[in-house]
Amino acid sequence: MSSTDLPVSTDTPDPFARTGPAPRRSRRAVDWGKYFTWLVMAWLFAPILFMIAFSFNDVQGRHNVTWQGFTLRWYEDALAYPDLTTALLNSLAIALLTMVIAGVLGSLLGLALGRYRFRGQGTTNLVMFAAISAPEVVLGAALLSLFLTMNVATGFLTILLSHVMFTVSFVAITVRARVLTLDPSLEEAARDLGATPLTTFRLVTLPMLAPAIMAGGLIAFALSIDDYIITSFVSGNVQTFPLWIWGATRVGIPPQVNVMGTLIFAIGVVLAIVNIVLARRRA
Amino acid sequence: MAMETTTTPEGGPSPTPTPPRRVAAAAPYFLVLPGWLWLAIFFVVPIVSMVTMSLMSGNLVRGFSLTFEFGNYADAVATYWEQILRSLFYGGCATLLCIAIGYPVAYWIAFRGGAYKSTYLLLLLLPFFVSFVLRTISWGFLLADDGVLLGTLKDIGLVPDGTRVLNSAPAVVFGLAYNFLPFMVLPIYAVLERMDHRLVEAARDLYAGRVQAFVRVVLPISLPGVFAGVIMTFIPSSADYINAKVLGGTHNTMIGQVIESQYLVNNAYPMAASITFILMAVLLIGIFSYARALGTEQVMEAQAR
């Protein structure tokens, strides 16, 4: 993007070159870091581009790795597998509920941890840290152990309980980071002007925390909708999108999976662009 | 809010009249309680339940009973030490690869990204809108023997016909690095972005060379970010088994696969629980000693950004 002005800047003499006491660094003609970064980006995007391209592949069998021509037919019957559609809807429902529940619980936790000093704070931090650091396979196995011991049938509810558990700490640390940067004088001003604690919270604190709460909620949503490992332990017979794709690998992935992946990616890109535009407008 | 008395450092006099002390003191507990309960019931209790289960004996038909069967642990280590060591080795290699690839990227974006910093970060995260499982499978298809990448290279004669990439240890390690790279880049970036870039200028003015300025100024400042990145990449990559299943074939199985099949296929719960506990212990002991050396607060702060 800025490659056009690069040759120009190498020719312009450094304005500080003669005034500085130390020998200034010589300008490099080639910015290797840039090419390296772009190479890494290409690596990260390669599987995505493969997925998008092959959602248009006119493949005959189920071995969808070579290009055989352009077609739109997988988009036309994107919903050809009712259980795939159900799995996607399950994933969305669980992710939305996780976002709301973990968003509320995590925000309260983050607010308390960022603002107060209280007995048990160290323990709470430690438990949250452990919950974030613990490998997913351990969390999944532990939850399954609990549900087996308690004779709880695994299914939609156990997935939801588990997802809230492993996302709530992420929301809490996101909100806590924001709470720590808040200027307390704004709330003091509100109180000096006669606002009750509740009014101060509603009109001053909450709006300032809103971006962090939103970000935390989105992280919870993303973690939930993407999770395979924990979900596979606590899902019982309920299918989610990642579980369905995984199950399909045994018989060959239908091209519709590439279609759904592409559509989800497209929604993500649109959301990201909207986010950027809104941020620009605010700034 | 009623936190004036609690936040004023060293109990300095608060100018505003505070609400009754008892309410103020209870407020944090009310806020913490719901989330704390959730974590206690669905994180702490399950871990305890798993440890209890690892000491049971019996089978699915006759039922399990708590007999303090420590032999489960001995059996687990004797049978699966190879998978445990392999998982730690793959996780370690993937983490080193993530540092080698992620540090320069984080450095370049933080120092040279200019106005496009946030765009680069967004590009870095964009692939992760696609499900982990689907991304890994796509990457596997791309590397398939007759696939787009290897097939094309064979067609133009750049690599010999019999070359295979899938079902090898490097394929698994690169797959892990692929999937967890952003968790290394983001914490390092967060630290480098926040550091005062004039420090580098100062070092240069004091006749430090380019390398010296990096080693003695930038590197020490960025270490908490690197540590956070190590935690965020080493743990999930050692415990992951999706990559090993998709890219590793039958000779590169990781411990997660064993845990999954013991729990979900063989229903050998006590055995499965003891393997899981061993994995958790090995990872967490390492991580907690790391975190202790640095302070968990700092590491978690770097993770949060």
Nearest to A116 among B27, B181, B304 (CB): B27
Cross-chain residue pair B236–A128, CB shorter than 8 Å: no
Cross-chain residue pair A115–B127, CB shorter than 8 Å: no
User: Do residues A218 and A99 touch, judged by C-beta distance below 8 A?
Assistant: yes
Domain boundaries, chain B: 3-54, 76-304
Q: Please tell me the distance from the alpha carbon of residue B138 to that of residue B97, in angstroms, as a whole number.
A: 21
| Residue ranges in B40-168 assigned as alpha helix (H) | 45-54, 71-112, 117-125, 132-143, 148-155
**Which of A279-283, B2-6, B271-275, B286-290 reaches the highest mean pLDDT?**
B271-275
Predicted local distance difference test score (pLDDT) of residue A169: 95
What is the Cβ-side half-sphere exposure of residue B62, based on CA atoms within 13 angstroms?
5
Predicted local distance difference test score (pLDDT) of residue A156: 96
Q: Give the pLDDT band (50/70/90) at residue A38.
A: very high
Q: Hey, is the C-beta of A280 within 8 angstroms of any chain B C-beta?
A: no
Size of interface A-B (CB pairs under 8 A): 299
Predicted local distance difference test score (pLDDT) of residue B126: 87
pLDDT at A15 over 80: no
Q: Give the pLDDT band (50/70/90) at residue B155.
A: confident
Q: Please tell me the distance from the alpha carbon of residue A59 to that of residue A54, in angstroms, as a whole number.
A: 9
User: Do residues B192 and B106 touch, judged by C-beta distance below 8 A?
Assistant: yes
Q: Of all helices (H) and strands (E), which one includes residue A54?
A: helix A32-54
- Per-residue pLDDT tens for A93-103? 999 999 999 99
pLDDT at A281 over 80: no
Predicted local distance difference test score (pLDDT) of residue B295: 61
pLDDT at A55 over 80: yes
Predicted local distance difference test score (pLDDT) of residue A4: 39
Predicted local distance difference test score (pLDDT) of residue A126: 87
User: Do residues A145 and B54 touch, judged by C-beta distance below 8 A?
Assistant: no
Q: Give the pLDDT band (50/70/90) at residue A153.
A: very high
Predicted local distance difference test score (pLDDT) of residue B149: 85
Which percentage of chain B shows pLDDT scores above 70?
A: 88
B297, amino acid identity: E
Task: Give B25's contacts in chain A (Cβ within 8 Å).
Answer: 118
Higher per-residue pLDDT: A141 or B13: A141
Task: Give A138's contacts in chain B (Cβ within 8 Å).
Answer: 47, 50, 239, 276, 279-280
What are residue A70's DSSP bridge partners?
Answer: A57
Q: Please tell me the distance from the alpha carbon of residue B103 to that of residue B186, in angstroms, as a whole number.
A: 10
For tokens 């609400």, what's the residue? Answer: B19
pLDDT at B30 over 50: yes
For the segment B275-287, the average pLDDT, to the nearest whole number, is 88
Q: Give the pLDDT band (50/70/90) at residue A10.
A: very low
Q: Hey, is the C-beta of B303 within 8 angstroms of any chain A C-beta?
A: yes
- How high is the mean pLDDT of chain B? 85
Q: Of all helices (H) and strands (E), which one includes residue B290?
A: helix B269-294
Predicted local distance difference test score (pLDDT) of residue B205: 87
Rounded to 5 degrees, φ, ψ at B24 are -60, -40
Cross-chain residue pair A191–B144, CB shorter than 8 Å: no
**Which of A102-106, A205-209, A216-220, B71-75 reaches the highest mean pLDDT?**
A102-106
Q: Please tell me the distance from the alpha carbon of residue A102 to that of residue A169, in angstroms, as a whole number.
A: 8
For tokens 């995260």, what's the residue? Answer: B125
Comparing A62-71, A116-125, B133-142, the range with the smallest average pLDDT is A62-71
Predicted local distance difference test score (pLDDT) of residue B296: 54
Predicted local distance difference test score (pLDDT) of residue A167: 96
Rounded to 5 degrees, φ, ψ at A115 are -105, -35
pTM of the predicted model as reported, rounded to 2 decimal places: 0.84
Quick one: tokens of A280?
Answer: 């620009």
Q: Please tell me the distance from the alpha carbon of residue A121 to that of residue B136, in angstroms, as a whole number.
A: 39
Q: Please tell me the distance from the alpha carbon of residue B216 to that of residue A263, in angstroms, as a whole number.
A: 47
Q: Please tell me the distance from the alpha carbon of residue A93 to that of residue B230, in angstroms, as a whole number.
A: 33
Predicted local distance difference test score (pLDDT) of residue A17: 46
Rounded to 5 degrees, φ, ψ at B277 are -65, -40
Q: Hey, is the C-beta of B265 within 8 angstroms of any chain A C-beta?
A: no
| Overall residue count recorded for chain B in this entry | 305
Quick one: tokens of A218?
Answer: 């989105």
Predicted local distance difference test score (pLDDT) of residue B46: 95
- Per-residue pLDDT tens for B55-65? 988 777 777 87
Which percentage of chain A shows pLDDT scores above 70?
A: 89
pLDDT at B148 over 90: no
**Geometric angle at alpha carbon B262, from B258 and B267, rounded to 5°:** 175
Predicted local distance difference test score (pLDDT) of residue B28: 86
Q: Hey, is the C-beta of B300 within 8 angstroms of any chain A C-beta?
A: yes
- Per-residue pLDDT tens for A238-275? 999 999 999 888 788 888 889 988 998 898 888 878 87
- Per-residue pLDDT tens for B2-29? 344 444 444 444 444 455 556 667 888 8
Q: Hey, is the C-beta of B68 within 8 angstroms of any chain A C-beta?
A: no
User: Do residues B255 and B91 touch, judged by C-beta distance below 8 A?
Assistant: no
pLDDT at A19 over 60: no
The DSSP line for B170-216 is HHHHHHHHHHHHHHHHHHHHHHHHHS-THHHHHHHHTT--HHHHIII
Predicted local distance difference test score (pLDDT) of residue B23: 63
- How high is the mean pLDDT of chain A? 85
Structural domains of chain A, with CATH: 82-282 (1.10.3720.10)
User: Do residues B253 and B244 touch, judged by C-beta distance below 8 A?
Assistant: yes
Predicted local distance difference test score (pLDDT) of residue A47: 94
Q: At the top level of CATH, which class does the domain B76-304 belong to? A: mainly alpha
Predicted local distance difference test score (pLDDT) of residue A95: 95
Task: Give A253's contacts in chain B (Cβ within 8 Å).
Answer: 137
